[in-house]
Chains A and B, each alone.
Chain A
């Protein structure tokens, strides 16, 4: 029973982070119908930024989080203006190739700049673990999960309560109609990219406290983000949140019930099952 509770807790904790990573992906798709294949690799960049802030400047990832987030916001909007803007109306094939090329580029960049070594932040601000009725909760993981929940909440509030957020949702619904209402879709797209990548910046800084950092780390997280988005429904922020938790739970539970080496396979299998059985996911639009 204790072990069951342990897996549930672990699954939830990582699930919140998955949700945060996926939210950006689903937002970008919702607003402009582009799948950002490079999403996981922006996470990787954020993790490296947080790591180097620690290694070179001694700043704990939790403190560098705001800077990292800002940096990634800038990166996101820059990516939009320099690259994505050119392929908004291009055929899907071209869009896929461009964001995939971005994935490879970022990975190559990381390999070149920082080599393939695995790096880790040895002591972070809040290390150690809690022991609650037989369940171990790593403090960094807990903080990360809490941060992820807060960030998800902020994004949700932004979309529902602010003018800019509502404008974003309007563009997601109907680009033409939004334009007729005076909403500059170009700026909205840039904003979507900015926020989408920034959210991954938060996740990266949070992850850096307890996860290994290496050039390919974005690969698995990126794929998991796709599974989450597919389950939650492409374009649905709430769906991504719920789905993130589900995927986190599925991963940890299958690792426990079946074998740790194949838990990732189970998650991928989940993607295939969803997409064949219920393509629109839980709350999706497309």
Chain B
């Protein structure tokens, strides 16, 4: 335990000083993406890894977060930070509406339902003129400041904001794991009827987990919108985003605290680098590579790569 804590502090320290050793935009961008996907995957892991409820629709919260803050900014001039909070609220509402009826469903049915919901959201936003339909939303270029949540000269502030979100997400996961909810989720995954016989309200637990997952994903949506300054339905509601979250948690270790972190540090560089080096000639090779990775992990090492670190993180 002590050793784990030490390793963690070293890890955080490395992250803090990273931008000073790597001053080019690309490495910084890479790490921002790694951390963002880690945050979203931590969210996914709470419901999917701990709770055992696989969802392929978490991109819906990413999109809702991104669009809520962007629409509030462009139409009402609200600060993106307020927008981030509003995005969380909208995502929570969506989580409730979706979760309440759907958590009765078993494994496959639920997974397909989440795909359906994700696609429905994409479809709706593609034709909804108020939010730009297929064209999307161009965020206004404002003078750079923390309040405006825009920085143009350098990626550094984005980096540290994301680092803060990353540490926040880890904190949330840490607390959940040790809380009654965390224990209940593991029990539900292990034996749902056994859990019910000792008073566990399965639906309520899954709903809480889902809501946490929604919030963590939603704040990344707002971040992304402010980072890229352009959003459209495919880039925010895309099925691949949802799938990436699953793959990351699977590779890193389902239901393990640092699983999504490890998964993200392995997977995202793979994705970004294949995109850079293979370009359009290799279009599709990246998909093949990580689908093979996904299949291999699912068959050969379902506990994920984090199990290689023995008791690290559990």
Do A and B touch, yes or no (CB under 8 Å, in the complex)? yes
Q: Which residue from A98, A262, A279 sits with its C-beta under 8 Å from B298?
A: A98
Interface stretch among A58-66, A168-176, A186-194, A268-276? Answer: A268-276
Q: Are A271 and B116 also in contact (CB < 8 A) when A101-B298, A262-B127 are?
A: yes
CB distance from A96 to the nearest CB of B (A): 6
Task: Give the interface size bracket for A toward B.
Answer: 35 or more
Q: Are A105 and B292 also in contact (CB < 8 A) when A90-B299, A276-B101 are?
A: yes
Q: Does A180 contact B (CB under 8 A)?
A: no
Contact B295 A98 (CB under 8 A): yes
Contact B54 A96 (CB under 8 A): yes
* 24 CB < 8 A contacts A-B: A35-B112, A86-B299, A90-B298, A92-B107, A92-B108, A93-B298, A97-B297, A100-B294, A102-B291, A104-B290, A108-B286, A111-B283, A111-B284, A230-B109, A259-B127, A261-B126, A262-B123, A264-B123, A265-B123, A268-B117, A269-B116, A271-B113, A272-B101, A272-B117
List A residues 200-215 near B (Cβ within 8 Å): 215
Which A residues are in CB contact (< 8 Å) with B250? 97
Q: Apart from A103-B291, A113-B284, what are 8 other A-B pairs with CB-CB below 8 Å?
A: A96-B108, A104-B243, A105-B288, A108-B286, A109-B284, A112-B284, A116-B283, A272-B117
Which B residues are in CB contact (< 8 Å) with A107? 284, 287
Q: Does A120 contact B (CB under 8 A)?
A: no
A102 to B313, CA, bound (A): 30
A113 to B288, CA, bound (A): 11
Q: Does B111 contact A (CB under 8 A)?
A: yes
Q: Are A96 and B284 also in contact (CB < 8 A) when A104-B290, A271-B113 are?
A: no
Q: Does B176 contact A (CB under 8 A)?
A: no
Which B residues are in CB contact (< 8 Å) with A162? none
Q: Lowest 3 CB-CB distances: which A-B pairs, in order?
A: A108-B287, A111-B284, A112-B284
A104 to B288, CA, bound (A): 7
Over the window 77-93 of chain A, the binary record of Cβ atoms lying under 8 Å from chain B Cβ atoms (1 yes, 0 no) is: 00000010011001111
Give B residues with C-beta under 8 Å from A. Answer: 52, 54, 56, 101-102, 104-105, 107-109, 111-113, 115-117, 119-120, 123-124, 126-127, 239, 243, 246, 250, 254, 282-292, 294-295, 297-299, 302
Contact B295 A105 (CB under 8 A): yes
Which A residues are in CB contact (< 8 Å) with B126? 261
Q: In terms of DSSP, what is the predominant structure of the interface of chain B? A: helix
Contact B116 A268 (CB under 8 A): yes
Q: Name the residue on A nearest B294 (C-beta).
A: A101
Contact B284 A91 (CB under 8 A): no
Q: Are A223 and B116 also in contact (CB < 8 A) when A97-B298, A98-B298 are?
A: yes
Give A residues with C-beta under 8 Å from B. Answer: 35, 83, 86-87, 90-94, 96-98, 100-105, 107-113, 115-116, 215, 219, 223, 226-227, 230, 259, 261-262, 264-265, 268-269, 271-272, 275-276, 279
Among B105, B115, B243, max chain A CB count under 10 A is at: B115
Q: Name the residue on A nearest B101 (C-beta).
A: A276
A261 to B56, CA, bound (A): 23
CB distance from A272 to the nearest CB of B (A): 6
Contact B287 A111 (CB under 8 A): yes
Contact B105 A265 (CB under 8 A): no
Which A residues are in CB contact (< 8 Å) with B298? 87, 90, 93-94, 97-98, 101
Which A residues are in CB contact (< 8 Å) with B239? 219
Which A residues are in CB contact (< 8 Å) with B282? 112
Among A101, A227, A279, max chain B CB count under 10 A is at: A101
Q: Which residue from B105, B113, B292, B299 sits with its C-beta under 8 Å from A94?
A: B299
Q: Name the residue on B nearest A115 (C-beta).
A: B283
A104 to B105, CA, bound (A): 25
Q: Which residue from B112, B288, B294 sits with its C-beta under 8 Å from A109?
A: B288
Which B residues are in CB contact (< 8 Å) with A219? 239
Contact A98 B299 (CB under 8 A): yes
A108 to B239, CA, bound (A): 14
Q: Are A93 and B288 also in contact (CB < 8 A) when A87-B299, A279-B109 are?
A: no
A93 to B177, CA, bound (A): 20
Q: Name the residue on B nearest A263 (C-beta).
A: B123
Which B residues are in CB contact (< 8 Å) with A271? 112-113, 116
